[in-house]
A and B are shown apart, each in its own frame.
Chain A
Amino acid sequence: MSDKLSEDKVKYIARLARIKISDEEATVFKNQMSSILDFVSSLNSIDTSNIETLSRTTELVNVFREDEIKPSLTKEEALLNAPNRYQNYFKTKPVLGEK
């Protein structure tokens, strides 16, 4: 966990998360994130080599139900909040052929 964050690294991760950030934001975030990562590195002091992980607290697995048709949103309702639509579709910029 000792890797130092740089502005470029912060920008790179922001790009992975599809958030455009300015140079100023990159500097502020670098400093804030570095102190947060320093803080969480306290976890390194605990030996967890024989500890299992816990990512959920219920025992539920594979919750099944009958595949029955039930009332659901109409097309109009589902498209109500679409920023751009074409007929009964969400409309986006081209996905293929983009530079």
Chain B
Amino acid sequence: MDIIEPMAMTIKEAANGLKNKLFSCEELVRASLGQINKFDKQINAFVAVCEKEAIREAKEIDIKISKREILGPLAGIPFSAKDVFCTKGIRTTACSNILNNFIPPYDATAIKRLKDAGAILIGKTNHDAFGFGSSTENSDFQVTKNPWNQNKVAGGSSGGSAAAVSAGMGLFSIAEDTGGSIRQPACFCGVSGIKVTYGRVSRYGVIAYGSSLDTIGVIAKTIDDTAAVLNIIAGKDPYDATTLNEAPADYLEHIDNGIADLVIGIPEEYFISGMDKEMETAIKEAIKEFERLGAKIKPISLPYTKYAIPAYYLSGISEVSANLARYDGIRFGFSDSEAKTIEEVYQLSRAKGFGPEVKRRIILGTYALSAGYYDAYYKKAQQIRKLIKNDFEKAFSEVNIIAAPVSPFPAFNIGEKTDDPLKMWLADIFTVTANPAGIPALAIPCGFSEDDLPLGMQLIGPLLSEQLLFRAGYSYQMATNWNKNKPKL
């Protein structure tokens, strides 16, 4: 079993190991489950572990291997999913008490595609309830700790997914990014994460946050692993009418072609005063690395960046107030048995089922959409959204992709920002720009702080440029190998 080192092993290595019978799928899955059993009491990455089902599925894969059946690149690979993905027969909570007892009768499309490809779900990961947060501290169940330093947050909202991948609990995780929920935790935990073009991956069966902003993506240890998983889940889905008609590219094709042909833009607005110095230095070093790899570097400006946070949050909370109306205590989820009238069923179930950040966002969103305020808040935000998109379109007429920090600082202390919701919102300053514009962005580890916290950069590209982002990210990864550093658990 020593041959399986769950913290270091990549999907590519695991698939080769299975193919060459260096170990069985059951051994591979047990190694991931072993990491959970050993370390998740401290890390709190998982809200559910499906040990029995995972081992049963692993045995089925082992039978297929023994029969020499041809298997796909993800066959037998253990993975986790953020607890917003509906999983048939497995409790799915959005990490909120209002869905504490919800057992979906169907699989989300992304889950179904991964299962059909033979990947093995080992558990559901923790996150801020409904994705509302940047640290997992808004989960109704537990706070996920950063594997690199357990006094620090793992980031959010998909903190459980990033911590799980970093700690070797599964080889990848699928998650959701509405304003940075994949990229920021990936950055804080020293792993890679892709936020895709809006509509590239089906949202069917994924618990909604802001439907015009929500995207489904991947967190993994390497850029090529991230690309390999996206290859399976991307594409049109008849169950999600917003999925794009364009056939997805093969994200591994051309990945090692280098970047000598690229012009990379550096936006001045992403280097703000008050930003962490080590983070700034790491990004500037990464830019030099891109130059050494042959890319041209060009300073650019995205002038509406500073308005992205208010515009993003106004759009987000408005959609939240509509999307979360479905939690009414009637068809599924928590229903307060003390309620005497239907009005009380709504009012009390939602009062007891939702945590403070969820209530705050629903109430603010209701306000922003209410008569007399709609033009000043929601409509204004949609106009700013147009200006943000224009910023990017102009930039992409001059450069191929943009390089920028994921976050102004590395992982912060648990409890540091929980008293002030606005302070938590501001943590998303560099990630919230991609979602209103619908464009993809790839988070990549780019160094470490003096006290050994991961630092991260994001590459942002035009609509449907994921293949290009993976190529640039892979080139950087192969030159720097930051991804090979592992936390000490």
A residues lining the B interface (CB < 8 Å): 1, 10, 13-21, 25, 28-29, 32-33, 35-37, 39-40, 42-44, 46, 48, 51-58, 60, 63, 65, 73, 77-78, 80-84, 90, 92-95, 98-99
**Contact A32 B386, CB 8 Å, known A43-B310, A93-B342:** no
**Nearest Cβ distance between residue B171 and chain A, in whole angstroms?**
31
Would you give 26 A-B contacts (Cβ < 8 Å), ordered by A? Answer: A10-B363, A13-B363, A14-B363, A17-B350, A17-B363, A18-B347, A18-B350, A19-B347, A20-B347, A25-B356, A32-B420, A32-B421, A33-B367, A43-B311, A43-B381, A46-B387, A53-B379, A53-B382, A54-B382, A55-B315, A56-B198, A57-B437, A58-B199, A60-B199, A82-B331, A83-B329
DSSP majority for the B interface?
helix
List residues of chain A with CB within 8 A of the CB of B340: 93
Verify if B50 is at the interface (C-beta below 8 Å from A): no
List residues of chain A with CB within 8 A of the CB of B238: 65
B377 close to A1 (CB less than 8 A): yes
Q: CA A54 – CA B438 in complex, angstroms? A: 11
One of B9-17, B101-109, B252-260, B472-480 at the interface? B101-109
List residues of chain A with CB within 8 A of the CB of B242: 56, 58, 60
Q: CA A17 – CA B320 in complex, angstroms? A: 11
Residues 350 to 364 of chain B near chain A (Cβ within 8 Å): 350-351, 354, 356, 359-360, 362-364
A80 close to B331 (CB less than 8 A): no
B335 close to A19 (CB less than 8 A): no
**Nearest Cβ distance between residue A33 and chain B, in whole angstroms?**
6
A33 close to B364 (CB less than 8 A): yes
Q: Which 6 A-B pairs have the closest CB atoms?
A: A57-B438, A81-B332, A83-B335, A53-B382, A40-B310, A77-B105
List residues of chain B with CB within 8 A of the CB of A52: 383, 386
A81 close to B438 (CB less than 8 A): no
**Nearest Cβ distance between residue B178 and chain A, in whole angstroms?**
13
B residues lining the A interface (CB < 8 Å): 101-103, 105-106, 198-199, 212, 238, 241-242, 244-245, 306-307, 310-311, 313-315, 321, 325, 328-335, 339-348, 350-351, 354, 356, 359-360, 362-364, 366-367, 370, 373, 376-377, 379-387, 389, 420-422, 425, 436-439, 463
Q: CA A90 – CA B329 in complex, angstroms? A: 11
**Chain A: which residue is nearest B238 at the CB level?**
A65
A19 close to B386 (CB less than 8 A): no
**Contact A46 B384, CB 8 Å, known A19-B354, A57-B198, A60-B199:** yes
DSSP majority for the A interface?
loop
**Nearest Cβ distance between residue A82 and chain B, in whole angstroms?**
6
**Nearest Cβ distance between residue B184 and chain A, in whole angstroms?**
20
B310 close to A29 (CB less than 8 A): no
B386 close to A51 (CB less than 8 A): yes
B341 close to A93 (CB less than 8 A): yes
List residues of chain A with CB within 8 A of the CB of B376: 1, 44
Contact of B105 among A10, A80, A84 (CB under 8 A): A80
B360 close to A92 (CB less than 8 A): no
List residues of chain A with CB within 8 A of the CB of B354: 19
**Chain B: which residue is nearest A19 at the CB level?**
B350
Contact of A29 among B334, B360, B370, B438 (CB under 8 A): B360
List residues of chain B with CB within 8 A of the CB of A36: 313, 364, 421-422, 425
List residues of chain B with CB within 8 A of the CB of A44: 376, 380
Contact of A95 among B103, B342, B381, B385 (CB under 8 A): B342
Q: CA A15 – CA B133 in complex, angstroms? A: 24
**Chain A: which residue is nearest B382 at the CB level?**
A53
**Contact A55 B360, CB 8 Å, known A18-B346, A20-B347, A32-B421:** no
**Nearest Cβ distance between residue A90 and chain B, in whole angstroms?**
6
